[in-house]
Amino acid sequence: MNMHVKIMIRTLIVTLVVILGIPLSFVHASKPEPAHVLIIYDSLAKGTSREGNIEALQRLLASFGVKVTETTMDNYKKGTLAKYTSVIAVRNANELTISNTDYIQDFASYEGDYLHIGVQLPSKIQTELNLTIQNANEQFVKLSIGQFSEPTIHVSHMPYIVQAMGSIQYGSISSENNDMDTPYAVRHDGLAYVPYYEKGNLSEIALAYVLKDWLRVTEQGKTYLLFKEVYPFSDLPLLEKMADKLYSAGIPFIVSVRPVFHNTDYPAMQRYLETLKYVQSHNGSILVNTPVVSSTIQEIGPELKAQMELFVDVLADYEIAPLGLGAEMYWTYDQQYSEYGMGSFDSAVLFPNENIRHRSQSDSSKSFSSSVYTIQLDFLEQFEHTGKVIERFPMSTALVYNFFETEAELDQNVQAYIDSWITFDDYKSVPHNVQTQANTISTHNGMFEINGHSVDLNNAYRTVSPEYSYKPEPEKSFETLFSIQNKIFIVLILLTLFAFGIMFIIGYRLYKRKYLNRRR
């Protein structure tokens, strides 16, 4: 296209914007809003094998970039279903029936996408999916999906699909005595049914295959290697050795580091930063892990935001580019944490909840442009798989390890990564953006950028001197005067002692002479 024609087109667009009063934001392509899914469940199934499956479902949905709102069937409010085009119902309890008439009436007229997990599949969905269902007695079954299978899963009162006409089928469930061989799940357009889902076995991963298609996600999931629990007082030389070994093996990795909010000019902090820069230069990506927050603090919002931005700025000033946030899942369901602690990041790696300390709990989650599901290698090792190479999962996934304590442990695990036949992806190959008031950090074509400038990964390592006064000396008034006085007093004392010594010697001689004269 001729340059003059381009200029004329741009001029015409600007003219139309001015004349018609069109906001400029509409001229540029805006970032699409994340999908918003409603989870409605009957119970958390505490004390049963299904306990924890709601949290695992939340993390799975987050890994697909989905915003989630959740409620229970008892607390459902009339008209809620009409606000959503995608709904997931989780029925964990065999004995519970729905008594909320508002939900029953709204569901009867609901026409959006619907995924049912667990028991008591509504007859409306069973008819539309053209399914025949039976309940299995207590037994052990084999679950297979993709290249993975788990041969001995204990189930009790599990419904299973006898026949599915015209639906897409996912995986298979079979019994030990071969009297059952049924699809794990089925889907047809926006309707899907997953009879069985529990945290801690292969069904935790199997659901992701269904979710990806049900959510109409087309991006390929990636696999990352991540290390957490890294502090300024960690074994930093060992961290450098790990970076060397992984770099030599051609394995990109992520380190989720604990932030430091005070004394950032101390040598210990400088050595920490130098080590992180070394890690970054050896194909490592840096995440900022959320801090440990005291349970006694209620209002932490603005202070938390300032502290998180402070640490990001300290890293950026040192030419270290943090690309995202590492956090327990409950942080995304807390208004203070999500707004103030996570607001600077558009990428996150979400860990299972370990110590929940809400400040302002919310029933809706914060979503991220890039979010990663986390598992551990020993979780995968309990499954059988076909082929040597482990294929990528439907969602982006990170194999997570706490940082090693000994070099022997490091060597053993690095060799396990090499032998695992897992293809690890480079975290910085995906777009990330971190924004503070002072700095903008991003990735572009696999390169780090800070405020639009590429980060030099070849900066020389600087040795930080251990000699440092950790407590700065206060300013002293009249220090010079007192110093002169002290010296004068010292001289006077020495002169006095000298005079006293001379007098002592003279007196001793006089006394000795007098004594000798008497004896004569």
* Range name among 71-80, 278-287, 306-315, 355-364 with the lowest pLDDT average: 355-364
CATH superfamily of 223-454: Glycoside hydrolase/deacetylase (3.20.20.370)
The predicted structure's pLDDT at residue 70: 96
pLDDT for the residue 176: 75
- Amino acid, res. 152: T
In this structure, are residues 270 and 464 in contact, taking their beta carbons and an 8 Å threshold?
Answer: yes
Does residue 16 carry a pLDDT above 60?
Answer: no
pLDDT of residue 62: 95
Mean pLDDT on 241-270: 92
CB 309 within 8 A of CB 437: yes
> What is the band of 30 on the pLDDT scale with cuts at 50, 70, 90?
very low
- pLDDT for 122: 94
**Which CATH code for domain 36-214?**
3.40.50.880
Residue 7: is its pLDDT beyond 50? no
- Alpha-carbon dihedral 239, 243, 249, 251, rounded to 10 degrees: 110
pLDDT at 295: 57
Percentage of the residues of the chain whose pLDDT score is greater than 70: 87
Confidence of residue 19 (pLDDT cuts 50, 70, 90): very low
If you average pLDDT over residues 481-510, what whole number do you get?
81
Domain boundaries, the chain: 36-214, 223-454
List of residues 6+ apart from 274 with CB closer than 8 A: 461, 462, 464
Least confidently predicted of 1-10, 68-77, 151-160, 434-443: 1-10
Strand order in the sheet with 433-435: 433-435, 440-444, 447-450, 453-454
Stretch among 241-250, 316-325, 499-508 having the lowest mean pLDDT: 499-508
pLDDT band at 487 (very low <50, low <70, confident <90, very high): confident
Please enumerate in sequence order all residues whose Cβ is within 8 A of that of 506, keeping only pairs 6 or more positions apart, or say none: none
Q: Is the dihedral of CA 126, 127, 130, 133 positive or negative?
A: positive
CB-based contacts of 402: which residues, under 8 Å, 6+ apart? 227, 228, 229
Q: Which is nearest to 65 in space by CA: 171, 256, 205, 212?
A: 212
Specify the pTM: 0.81
Residue 139 pLDDT level (bands cut at 50, 70, 90): confident
Per-residue pLDDT tens digits for 219-251 = 989 999 999 999 998 999 999 999 999 999 999
* Average pLDDT value for residue range 419-442: 92
Residue 250 confidence (pLDDT):
94
- The Cα–Cα gap between 173 and 176 comes to 10
Higher-confidence residue of 193 and 94: namely: 193
Find the helix or strand (DSSP H, E) in which 471 lies: none
Across the chain, mean pLDDT equals: 86
Q: Taking 60 as the threshold, does the pLDDT of residue 290 lie above it?
A: yes
